[in-house]
Structure 1
Amino acid sequence: MAATIITTEDLKEFKLELLEEIREMFNENRAMVMKKEWLKSTQVMDMLNISPGTLQKFRHNGTLAYTKIGGLIFYEAGQIEKMLSDNLVNNEKLK
């Protein structure tokens, strides 16, 4: 096998390339975190197959967080997914 010599200049170039790739990955992840999907009440009711009264109950008892702007109420999609996951019932435990 032939030996390969790595110079200081090679290491500097590698460092710069690595840092640039890390920056790109960080920026991509930040954009994904900052993007939130907001749903209107009707969308949430359709998604969960619930009535307006049930949705109101979820708001009032703190089961589901919401944002109100004027007369419109919005729900974060991630919070709905979290609520569903937190209330998941494992049938194996019931046996």
Structure 2
Amino acid sequence: MTTLDLITREDLENFKKELFEELRKLKIDGADKAQKKWLKSADVRKMLGISPGTLQALRINGTLRFTKVGNILYYKNEDLTKILEENLTETY
């Protein structure tokens, strides 16, 4: 940019509008992913940071409810949230 290049108020307004539009799109896309009602095993393992064996143990001992369609296991997002909130510990 040289000393002759000027940024006008209109340029800044246009930039602001474009920036906010992009941020809105990102927020909407992120909200859609977070609001999935049913999650697959891989999603649950990633969310909780656990192994397939640990997930299986949670199913077997009844900690985590699931449903099976064909060979795919599905878990309710609200069940995961409930389990996480029940096991929430306070740290100081």
Which residue of the partner structure matches residue 49 of structure 2? Answer: 49
Aligned length: 58
Aligned to 2:62, the other structure's residue is in SS state coil
Question: When the two structures are superposed, what TM-score results if normalisation uses the length of structure 1?
Answer: 0.57
2:79 is equivalent to residue 69 of structure 1:
no
- Please give the per-residue CA displacement for 1:44-91, whole angstroms capped at 9, x wherever unaligned: 001111000000000000111101111110000000000000111123
Aligned to 1:91, the other structure's residue is in SS state coil
Tell me, in whole angstroms, the C-alpha distance in 2 between the residues paired with 1:62 and 1:90.
25
Tell me, in whole angstroms, the C-alpha distance in 1 between the residues paired with 2:84 and 2:66.
15
What letter corresponds to residue 38 of structure 1 in structure 2? W
Identity %: 48
Tell me, in whole angstroms, the C-alpha distance in 1 between the residues paired with 2:36 and 2:42.
18
Give the unaligned 5+ runs of structure 2: 1-34
Q: Once superposed, which parts of structure 1, at least 4 consecutive aligned residues long, lie more than 4 Å away?
A: none
1:36, distance to aligned residue in structure 2 (A): 6.5
